[in-house]
């Protein structure tokens, strides 16, 4: 690459930053001017934030087209007057930057990756797309890609907008309107792709900015890990949450045994909860006496049954249907009262028709009932008379509803419920577990919520294989359009209630209106480490093809035998000799001893040099180096083989396994070393 070409790109980049600075200045001025208009000020403040976040790596590519045009590609679109200076990576014309190949050049003559440090161009990497010399390994911008995948990790995920690969770009721009399932092995970029797809959808479908996008991840640690990616792509409005975060008023304080968690996750719990809610409605066998203003009104079972039927036919949730029930019952009670009062109406000749007081006047109880209902009784020489019109009857119904005795009777028949109450009916509990959250949410849906449920225009689920059938019901309620992107790997399912088939998970909600998109290349785990997982995969997922690693490092993973008593010391010893950002992954039972041996402080921070995690916590994360402590105990868990696969595939460079006693058969082919690696 000649110096002059770098100079030319530098000149162009300087002009782009000048344009960015000018826009930033305009937006800052607009914020100051809009001080009295809070909404306008917020809009301009968001614009300043967006312009600030594209500062790093503003422009990263160039397409030289066969027709002579040059398109610079970057994190946002920049124009001077109507002239495009920089094309947003999400614009359709930018797509060939990610997908053009020598055999299908899409009008591109040359693709250039521009590496920058701050506002300075530091390197250019060119690919001439010449169909005559097509020599394809399927990778786009290989040098830039390899530099990105071998870089040391920081404990925070970075965006990959400069080096997206064609199969990833196709997923990001997929126009399927229903559920898109992105399945791929470890390190294939599922998380990265899902987040870039969010940025793409927000850019392409503006309505999503108001309808909202939700990204669901497996843990807070994971959400922190990915937390900078979308802001780095200029998107600040996306909500991220774990399943537990979606019910913020509940504290998770308990861990269920696996078999309990599995049972709680099954879809049939929805039917059981619905039955539990129904069981609280009591249709009496005998007439029920209801006292109102010292009169006894009799409610017969048939009337209760009719009222319950109407309430159910309303299709409303329990607490809202209760309004229908009580209106029906109160109508019946009010009619009893009216009938009684009407019974003392005098005939034309002035005689009491039936049941009135001897002198034809209303009884004292009738008068109290009417007074409670606010009915003004006309007086004449013969005393008060009743001729109730509809307004009077409505007032009577209101008075009945406000009466505590009547309310007590209604509550005994159709009690108001809360979700905790209903879920505890199914299993007595002293605190809530993570598996209870979808049950509580289901109960809330059956009962009716006080506040309206927040829904989203698009929902992304990462580590989607971990969600139970009940958790899927919870998410579907939050995405009425069923516009979703799910990313996961069925070989990594650690939750006994998690998915074993995408079709089984999705069919109840969307039938066959979901699309499958595979990712096949592993950008994280080197070939040597993937080779070490071969026996594990073959034993537990025969027929499943591991993703192809994009690189080899020449560093062989190793295992070292120790004793149970010596495990913490052996791990601590190996940790001090392992370079880079290190994760020690062990079953929960060893965490306390290892934490003490390694003098680790809690709470854990992923940007620390050494972190200690269970396999479940390590899900979705990656580190320069990984040490696995006691793989046999990891395998003992119900889906322990998947947990071990997750643990083994977290490293970008080095993997060591320390096993008390003999190694699990699945790892016995790994190179044994007498102690830690030299
Ligand atoms: N095109 C790419 N260019 C550069 N880096 C990439 C690319 N694709 C993926 N990566 C990197 O590979 C690593 C793995 O990506 P990611 O975590 O998204 O994979 P995953 O499929 O979600 O993995 P897992 O299922 O194992 O959690 C990340 O460091 C990511 O930045």
| Binding-site residues for ATP | 184-191
The highest-level CATH class for domain 527-672 is alpha beta
605 pLDDT band, cuts 50/70/90, is: confident
573 Cβ neighbours under 8 A, 6+ residues apart: 675, 676
pLDDT at 675: 66
143 Cβ neighbours under 8 A, 6+ residues apart: 113, 125
Q: Is the CB of 164 under 6 A from ligand 1?
A: yes
Structural tokens at position 623: 């580190």
pLDDT above 80: residue 154: yes
Q: How many CA atoms lie within 13 A of 35 on its CB side?
A: 3
pLDDT at 613: 94
Ligand 1 atom 30 nearest Cα: 189
pLDDT above 50: residue 347: no
pLDDT at 81: 86
CATH architecture of 182-272+422-522: 3-Layer(aba) Sandwich (3.40)
How far apart are the C-alpha atoms of 362 and 364, rounded to whole Å? 7
- CA 622 to centroid of ligand 1, rounded, Å: 9
| Average pLDDT, rounded, for the chain | 90
Query: What are the start-end ranges of the H helices in 158-219?
Result: 166-172, 190-204, 207-211
H or E element: which one contains 627? strand 623-629
Handedness of CA 81, 86, 87, 89 (dihedral sign): negative
pLDDT at 470: 97
CB 533 within 8 A of CB 660: no
Q: Residue 331: phi, psi to the nearest 5?
A: -60, -45
Name which residue leads in pLDDT, 338 or 174: 174
Rounded to two decimals, what is the model's pTM? 0.88
- CA 521 to centroid of ligand 1, rounded, Å: 9
How far apart are the C-alpha atoms of 592 and 574, rounded to whole Å? 18
Torsion of CA 76, 80, 85, 91, to 10 degrees: 50
Residue 611 DSSP class: E
CB 236 within 8 A of CB 50: yes
Q: Is the CB of 163 under 6 A from ligand 1?
A: yes
Q: Is the CB of 168 under 6 A from ligand 1?
A: yes
- How far is CA 663 from each of CA 659, 668, 670, rounded to the nearest angstrom? 6, 6, 9
Q: Is the CB of 626 under 6 A from ligand 1?
A: no
625 Cβ neighbours under 8 A, 6+ residues apart: 578, 579, 580, 581, 582, 583, 651, 653, 654, 655, 656
Q: Can you give the residue ranges of every domain in the chain?
A: 5-151, 182-272+422-522, 527-672
CB 235 within 8 A of CB 407: no
99 Cβ neighbours under 8 A, 6+ residues apart: 106, 140, 166, 169, 170
pLDDT above 90: residue 602: no
What is the best residue among 172, 523, 644 to mutate for testing ligand 1's pocket, by most ligand atoms within 8 Å of CB? 523
Sheet holding 83-88, edge to edge: 78-80, 83-88, 70-74, 59-65, 108-117, 120-128
Residue 72 bridge partners (DSSP): 62
CB 522 within 8 A of CB 187: yes
- CA 188 to centroid of ligand 1, rounded, Å: 5
Q: How do beta strands 295-299 and 288-292 pair?
A: antiparallel
Q: Is the CB of 490 under 6 A from ligand 1?
A: no
Q: Is the CB of 533 under 6 A from ligand 1?
A: no
Q: Is the CB of 622 under 6 A from ligand 1?
A: yes
Q: How do beta strands 213-216 and 458-461 pair?
A: parallel
Q: What is the secondary structure of 545-587 as a DSSP string?
A: PPPEES---S---EEEEE-TTTHHHHHHHHHHT--SSEEEE--
Considering only 100-109, 239-248, 526-535, 667-676, which range has the smallest mean pLDDT? 667-676
pLDDT above 90: residue 451: no
> Closest Cα partner for 188 from 537, 462, 424?
462
Chain segment 251-307, per-residue pLDDT in tens: 888 889 989 999 999 999 999 999 999 999 999 999 999 988 888 899 999 999 999
Place of tokens 């590609």: 73
> Closest Cα partner for 204 from 95, 101, 49?
95
Considering only 6-10, 103-107, 190-194, 605-609, which range has the smallest mean pLDDT? 605-609
Same fold, 182-272+422-522 and 527-672: yes
Q: Provide the strand spans (E) within 21-178.
A: 59-65, 70-74, 78-80, 83-88, 108-117, 120-128
How far apart are the C-alpha atoms of 661 and 678, rounded to whole Å? 21
């Amino acid at each position: 690459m000649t110096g002059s070409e770098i100079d030319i790109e530098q000149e162009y980049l300087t002009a782009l930053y000048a344009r960015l600075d000018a826009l930033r200045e305009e937006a800052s001025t607009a914020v100051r001017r809009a001080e009295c208009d809070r909404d306008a000020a917020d809009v301009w403040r968001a614009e300043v934030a967006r312009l600030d976040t594209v500062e790093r790596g503003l422009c990263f590519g160039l397409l030289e087209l066969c027709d002579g045009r040059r398109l610079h590609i970057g994190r946002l679109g920049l124009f001077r007057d109507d002239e495009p200076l920089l094309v947003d990576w999400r614009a359709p014309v930018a797509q060939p930057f990610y997908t053009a190949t020598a055999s299908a050049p899409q009008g591109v003559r040359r693709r250039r990756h521009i590496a920058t440090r701050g506002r300075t161009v530091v390197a250019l990497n060119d690919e001439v797309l010449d169909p005559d010399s097509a020599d394809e390994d399927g990778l786009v911008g290989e040098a830039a890609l390899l530099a990105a995948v071998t870089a040391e990790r920081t404990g925070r995920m970075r965006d990959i907008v400069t080096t997206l690969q064609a199969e990833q770009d196709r997923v990001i721009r997929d126009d399927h309107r229903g559920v898109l399932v992105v399945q791929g092995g470890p390190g294939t970029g599922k998380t990265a792709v899902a987040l870039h797809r969010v940025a793409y959808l927000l850019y392409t479908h503006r309505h999503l900015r108001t309808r909202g996008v939700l990204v669901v991840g497996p843990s807070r640690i994971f959400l922190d890990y990915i937390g900078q990616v979308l802001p780095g792509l200029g998107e600040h409005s996306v909500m991220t949450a774990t399943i537990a975060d979606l019910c913020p008023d509940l504290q998770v304080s308990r861990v269920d045994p696996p078999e309990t968690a599995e049972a709680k996750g099954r879809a049939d719990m929805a039917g059981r909860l619905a039955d539990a809610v129904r069981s609280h409605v009591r249709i009496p066998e005998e007439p029920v006496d209801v006292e109102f203003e010292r009169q006894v009104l009799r409610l017969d079972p048939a009337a209760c049954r009719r009222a319950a039927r109407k309430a159910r036919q309303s299709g409303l949730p329990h607490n809202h249907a209760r309004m229908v029930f009580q209106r029906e019952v109160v109508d019946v009670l009010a009619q009893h009262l009216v009938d009684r009062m009407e019974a003392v109406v005098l005939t034309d000749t002035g005689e009491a028709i039936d049941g009135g007081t001897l002198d034809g006047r209303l009884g004292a109880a009738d008068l109290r009932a009417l007074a409670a209902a606010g009915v003004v009784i006309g007086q004449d020489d013969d005393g008060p008379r009743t001729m109730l019109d509809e307004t009077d009857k409505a007032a009577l119904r209101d008075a009945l509803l406000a009466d505590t005795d009547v309310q007590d009777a209604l509550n005994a028949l159709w009690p108001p419920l809360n979700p905790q109450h209903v879920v505890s009916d199914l299993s007595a509990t002293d605190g809530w577990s993570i598996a209870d959250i979808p049950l509580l949410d289901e109960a809330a849906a059956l009962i009716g919520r006080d506040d309206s449920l927040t829904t989203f225009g698009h929902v992304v689920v990462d580590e989607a294989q971990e969600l139970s059938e009940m958790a899927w019901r919870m998410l579907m309620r939050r995405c009425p359009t069923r516009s979703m992107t799910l990313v996961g790997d069925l070989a990594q399912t650690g939750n006994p209630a998690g998915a074993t088939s995408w079709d089984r998970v999705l069919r109840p909600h969307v039938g066959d209106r979901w699309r499958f998109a595979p990712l096949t290349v592993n950008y994280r785990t080197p070939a040597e480490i993937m080779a070490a997982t071969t026996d594990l995969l073959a034993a537990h997922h025969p027929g499943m093809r591991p993703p192809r690693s994009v690189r080899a490092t020449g560093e062989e993973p190793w295992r070292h035998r120790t004793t149970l008593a010596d495990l913490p010391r052996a791990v601590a010893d190996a940790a001090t000799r392992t370079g880079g950002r290190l994760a020690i992954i062990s079953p929960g039972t060893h965490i306390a001893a290892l934490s003490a041996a390694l003098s680790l402080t809690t709470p854990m921070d992923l940007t620390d040099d050494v972190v200690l995690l269970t396999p479940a916590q390590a899900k979705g994360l990656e580190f320069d180096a990984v040490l696995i402590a006691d793989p046999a105990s990891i395998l003992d868990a119900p889906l322990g083989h998947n947990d071990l696969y997750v643990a083994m595939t977290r490293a970008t460079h080095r993997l060591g396994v320390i096993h008390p006693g003999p190694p699990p058969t699945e790892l016995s082919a790994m190179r044994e070393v007498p102690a830690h690696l030299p």
